[in-house]
Structures are given as C-alpha cells and as structure tokens.
Amino acid sequence: MHLPVCLHSVTIVSPAFPCQLDQFENHFARQVLSHSFAMMANLTSIIHSGVPARFPELRVVFTEAGIAWVPYMMWRMDKYFHEYRRMVPFLEQRPSDYIRERMWFATQPIEEPDEPKDLVATIDLIGGPERILFASDWPHHDFDNPRAIMKLPMPREAKRKIMGENALRLFGIPAPAEKIAVGA
C-alpha cells in the first residue's frame, strides 16, 4: 500500500520564512497568513526540487490551510516554470499538472465567500471535487461544520466525493458496505 504524505500546517512564530509572523501584533493576522504561507512554501519546495518527477507514485495531502490559495500557486508556478524552465529541467510537466494529478487539499479552514458558487469555481480550478478532502478540525473552537460543503451548489456526487469517498480511495480504505433492506 502506498500511503500519501500528509502535511499539516500550524501557526508558529520563528525567524524562518514563512513563519516570521511576530511583526503582527495579534493572532488575527498571524492566523490569516501562517497556514496558507506555510503550505505555499511546502508546495513550492516540493515542485522546485522535482519531487513529483523523482517520485511518480508519491501522493501529497495539504491540510489545515484551506483551498483558495491553490489556484494562485498553480498559476504562479506555471508562469515561472515557463520563464525559468532551465532551472527546473527535471520537471516533465507544468507544476499545475503535477498538482492536479498527485495532490489533494483538505477543506479546513474552508473559505466561505459571499457567493458559494465562487468556492465551487475554486474547487474546479484545483482539479475538481476529486482533489478535495473534507476536514473538520473538531473539537477545536474554529472547526468546520460539514454544512459548509453540503450547502455548495454542486452535484450530490461531488459532495459525496469531498465528504468521504476521496479519502477512502486515497488511503486505500474499503468503502463501508451499503445497508441491505430486510426482506428485499
């Protein structure tokens, strides 16, 4: 079995990028920036060092950073992949292709835009519902309620994938047997 590598972000303060957040005077600012910055740095490190090309079976899950930062990073890395191609000759594909094929992103803390359809569009930019895993972060005070996903204007099948089917498949866990009606 090939288990994926799961990266979990945290809010820390240190002198090293991307966590030198002590210039911010309160936890609001540190919380807004730290998780996504840390995951942006991890994703960039994975791509620029050629990890997906060197380990084609590796799958990576990014957790506790939400998902809205991912399309930005895909576009940004693709731009510089073309501009600085000579610096990453080992990459056989664009960064966004590796991301869409081998990386998954957990929802927590899920962004909740005024227009839920904007979050659906973001999910589609990442590679669709197949690349998203629901995460609640329960029992923390800022946990995500499953209703955030269930309210989205997307097909029921897409919600089923996000709410559990993707995780079962990714981690190689058999799906629970369906209940059979007695007397059927």
Q: Apex CA 17: angle with CA 40 and CA 93, to 5°? A: 35
One digit per residue, the tens of pLDDT, for the chain of length 184 reads: 478 999 987 666 566 655 667 777 787 887 788 788 889 989 999 999 999 999 999 999 999 999 999 999 999 999 999 999 999 999 999 999 999 999 999 999 999 999 999 999 999 999 999 999 999 888 877 788 888 899 999 999 999 999 999 999 999 999 887 665 665 5
Which residues have C-beta within 8 Å of that of residue 146, sequence separation ≥ 6? Answer: 134, 136, 163
Strands (E), 42-167: 60-63, 103-106, 132-133
User: What is the third-level CATH fold of 5-171?
Assistant: TIM Barrel (3.20.20)
Q: Would you say the C-alpha torsion 103, 106, 111, 115 has a positive or negative sign?
A: positive
Q: List the chain domain ranges.
A: 5-171
What is the pTM (predicted TM-score) of this model? 0.88
**78 token code pair:** 């693709």
What separation in angstroms does the CA of 105 have from each of 16, 26, 90, 119, 146? 24, 27, 24, 13, 16
